[in-house]
Amino acid sequence: MRVVDLIDIKKKGGVLSNEELDFLLDNYLSGKVPDYQMSAFLMSVYFNGMSDDELSYFTLKMRDSGDTIFFDNMEKYLVDKHSTGGVGDKVTVVLGPLLAAVGMATTKLSGKGLGHTGGTIDKFESIDNFKFSSTKDELVNIANKTGVGIMGYSDKIVPLDKKLYSLRDVTATVDSIPLIASSIMSKKLAVQSDLIILDVKVGDGAFMKTIEDARELSRRMVNIGNSLGRKTIAVLTNMEEPLGLNIGNSNEIIEGIEALSGNWSNDLKEVVYTLVYLALKNKGEVSNFSEAEKIIDKAISDGAALDNMRKFIKMSGGNENIVDDYKLLPTAENKLKVVSNYSGYVNKIKAENIGKAAMVIGAGRATKDDIIDHAVGITLYKKVGDFVNKGDILAEIQYNSSKSIEISKKMVLDAYILVDKKVDNKKNILEIIE
């Protein structure tokens, strides 16, 4: 068996057998297959795709290239929620404590943000001394006691994916749907769960710009999970405007706490309630959304969800008092109100613009080596469907350095598209694929 022959098969649109994938991937991980040959293989996949069976086995090989995490003696229903990334996406901040409050547990890996999309780790690291679990034992301990099991990515988990991703990054093959699907699902399958829910963002501020691409990615991921014995659901959610009202790190933690206290933006509430409903439904506890809504409302009104947030922060080394005193979180030195130059109804808020406006003041990373400023961010005063008078405040920028503030301001202004006639509020849940 020769690698060049396997490349040729994929180049001509053929399907590799399990044995052929074993040969290729095992030898690449051990260093026997050079990067230039794997680059040719990845480009062949980019143009010709992979069959469902081929992709499932490819994903399984990546999962089994490193450690897997199983939860001994964890009797709760385990939910792994993954987001493909968006602007203002603080769903995990809210979802973990809320799932725990309704009798389930979160078990997932989370990452840091890059570019205009924020990462869950960056948000929680706004809290002094907060550290995510870095070992299985830490993760199991915290998950058992709080119901919130979130761990940072480890080099020991799915090392083949890390090696392949670095190669994809420099060979223009990052945006291959089969390779995206296998990368995401290999990490999902490496951690034990009863249910995987994929929050696939669609639109201006998402990696998937069109509903067609998002649907195809979702279908491939759902097929992988279900074919490998893990119940998987994809929820396509709107990212034509930022999710919620805040973009940043400490301010998204605050918005998450407010949500767990019952103070929601409509779009964030719809997404979170839908995800919890799907978890409860698949666990067998409810048959419709109304039943789930009552359970969720109670978990918030009686303080159980917020109490779980306190416990999770405390067990992760952070100061749980931030839940009651936001002054304990990093705060920006300066604030700039961005006012509208026109009147009209908000038809669109370009999410990517807002994400980049936050990134240039330090809330995100342009490169992996950039240092996050957890204090800075943007708060939206107007959302899609709202009426704006000339001179009204559209948003507030919280910043420390004035170096890029004018650039950020211009990006925010350019993000708001106003029209004369009132527009319907956009749907937040676009589609569910099982």
Q: Tell me the two tokens of residue 408.
A: 């950020």
116 is catalytic: no
Other CB atoms within 10 Å distance of the CB of residue 295 = 16
Contact 311, 320 (CB under 8 A): yes
Question: Are the beta carbons of 76 and 105 closer than 8 angstroms?
Answer: yes
Enumerate the β-bridge partners of residue 378. 247, 397
What six digits make up the tokens of 63? 């999962």
- Residues 6 or more apart in contact with residue 234 via CB below 8 angstroms: 197, 198, 200, 218, 219, 221, 222, 432, 433, 434
Amino acid identity at 288: N
Please give the Cα distance from 177 to 234 (Å, whole number).
15
Residue 57 identity (one-letter amino acid) = Y
350 annotated active-site: no
Token pair of 333 as six digits: 């030195």
Question: Would residue 424 show up in a list of annotated catalytic residues for this protein?
Answer: no
Rounded CA-CA distance 259/113 in Å is 22
Whether 187 is catalytic: yes
Q: Which of 76, 82, 116, 350 is catalytic?
A: 82
How far apart are alpha carbons 373 and 330 in whole angstroms?
A: 9
320-353 burial: b if 16+ Cβ within 10 Å, else e: bebbeeeebbbebeeebebbbeeebbbbbbbbbb
**Looking at 80, 122, 161, 204, which residue is catalytic?**
161
Cβ 237 vs Cβ 201: under 8 Å: yes
Q: Which of 133, 154, 183, 218 is catalytic?
A: 183
Which one of 63, 76, 163, 168 is the catalytic residue? 168
Question: Among the options 61, 187, 215, 356, which is catalytic?
Answer: 187
Q: Is 134 a catalytic residue?
A: no
CA distance 76 to 53: 31
3-state DSSP assignment of residue 80: strand
Residues with catalytic annotation?
82, 161, 168, 183, 187
